[in-house]
Structure 1
Amino acid sequence: MYHQIGLPAAKGTPYRGLTVHPADFRRQMSWMRRLGYRGLAMRDLQPYLDGERQGKVFGITFDDGYRNVYENALPVLGELGFTSTNYFVVRQLGGSNAWDAEKGVPPSPLMSLEEMRGWAAAGQEVGSHTLDHVHLPRISTELAELQIRQSKTQLEDLAGVEVSAFCYPYGHETPALRDMVRNAGYLNATTTQRGLARRSDDRYGIPRVTVARSTHILRFLQKCLTRLEDRRRQD
């Protein structure tokens, strides 16, 4: 689970740790390739999670659709032949992470419509992060269903591709919300629960490994490759 791939904001800035330096991202992806692993978008990972295929693979996801991911991560993914999923906030295409403003997080540009289309044209996956990056459990059922369903249909219309992957904003989800995502036609959904995905996981509650600015390469490999039952309780 990545967010931004770029230069970090000033020290003391909230969520500064969620921006991974481009050189670190390249190093992380290169090491996975060197070890024989192939990075996949959620749509490409699904057969492995369903037990239909086997191989040395790992999922790559980006939350929010930041422009610096397009600029700094996309070239690396293309060079290595990896695919990934980026979860876009529909009504902020070409905007910024406005939902973070009240926390003192400086604005960071998000991909424009054309950049999102370029992302898809490069073989990367377009996923949904709702219309407005809302706290889904805090709004009415009707509004939650609208955020989930309309973000899918609007992204499909805008990008011209099928949108089958969903990510819960802030990681906030409930069994009822999982059902809404399933009923809306998505094939999987990711959370912010920490850990390696397993075949036994609910496809609408898939955990992820958080990669932060401070995640050095040995820690990165440990987090991604260690298969322990208590992995989900690790940082």
Structure 2
Amino acid sequence: MFGRRRREEFPAGAEEVEPVEQVPARESGPWDSGEPYPERERVDLGGMHLPVDPGFEVQLNLAGEQIVGAVIMVDESALQVHAFAAPKRNGIWDEVRDELAGGVKSAGGTTEEREGPFGVELAAKVPADGVAQPVRYIGVDGPRWFLRAVISGRAALDAEAAATLESVIRDIVVVRGDEPMAPKEAIGLRLPPEARQAMEQQAAEGHVPDLNPFKRGPEIAEIR
């Protein structure tokens, strides 16, 4: 992966080649953990490394006791992201998009396919408390994984607000792993190491652990 050759391969007197820094083959992600990607601050959730910036609040989606997704909230906007296993040779976004459109329609909402920064996406109006809420469904097919992103709130209509959340999607790193998984099976996530350590320490001291252990930076909370 690097430009340095083993010392014994160099003729006598030859200079060794300095390591060559890996650079991404693509301009932006979402990234697969097995490819080179730009370094930046990310929350390590195990199956997903989530970019964070000051002012972000990060919440976790749970199915039972398993963490299956995350939500980034900033200002009046929200980005929900889930990663799923996918077949090796073909993507599933076309199929998932049809399922999402059917679900929105059955709930009394409407959908329209549009071309977005990540390809075809679904612009929807979803009924909530008697009001049609705008929502953007974005899908990205990766190598043996699929990332679903849902943008709601102000960013669903405001391009400037959307740009902040779209940049988050571009810098997500998905860690698929090598274990066999059925297509559309959620890639499990976990609390970041620092959050888990803080919770364990609180429990050991007899305090009720909260899921907001960070004093600075992103806030981790739990939603079911």
> Fold conserved (TM > 0.5)?
no
More strand by share: 2
Normalising by the residue count of structure 2, what TM-score does the alignment of the two structures yield?
A: 0.26
More helix by share: 1
Normalising by the residue count of structure 1, what TM-score does the alignment of the two structures yield?
A: 0.25
